[in-house]
A and B are shown apart, each in its own frame.
Chain A
Amino acid sequence: MLIGEVVGSVVATQKDPQLESHKLLVVQVRSHENQPRDQYVIAVDSVGAGPGDLVLYATGSSARQTNITKDKPCDAVVMAIVDSWDVSGKNVYEKWSGA
């Protein structure tokens, strides 16, 4: 999985019927040092993530291993909302600090 920030959402009126009623999130990839990368992915939401959330997303056929994306034309799914992470024991990101 990769870490990313939800920076927006995509509205698509004309799309494959199987994708109807799914929230499509624009996710910008973050490095493990929490630096934004110039890499974006459009992912189906499975956990109720929203703008500003740091999330984990899975890609490829793994993305279809949820009840809402099974057998659907989906290749990226947000499967967790990140609370915090450490690199070598040092905290890099903490969702609830400085809120």
Chain B
Amino acid sequence: MSEIDRLVTMRTNVLMFAAIAFAVWQLAWLSQDLFPDKQSVSFQIAGWTTVLGALLWVVAAFYLYRYSVAVKKAAACKVLNDELTQRNRNKPFLFAYFCLFGLIWLLIPLTEFIAVDLKIALRGIATFGVVTPIFYFVYLEKKSEVTTE
């Protein structure tokens, strides 16, 4: 496996790990906001999950830093941002943009009918907006290759 191939694999793995860590952190936090009964076991579990998610996010940030150092060291910034990568990045970005757009426009009329906690709604939408394009990018990166040499 060449250095570039190793970096491509490292990028998808690090991004996937970062997205999972972020989702665990934010969704656990969100569940605490949704069910704020501090005495309940689920609230306690969500609290510890939030801490765990935050720690995983710190680890992910470290690995993202290590990845960026490795890319600089290999002088592979341009190669790792080639046409295929740009296409695989643009598609999820556009998808997430329209999803966020739709969710926000859905939220406005929804507030007319039910009492929506804006803090919770915005946290949910923001988490979705961060995690979805990363998972979609990783999916496209893994899917696009045909194994034959």
Query: Are chains A and B native binding partners rather than an unrelated pairing?
Result: no
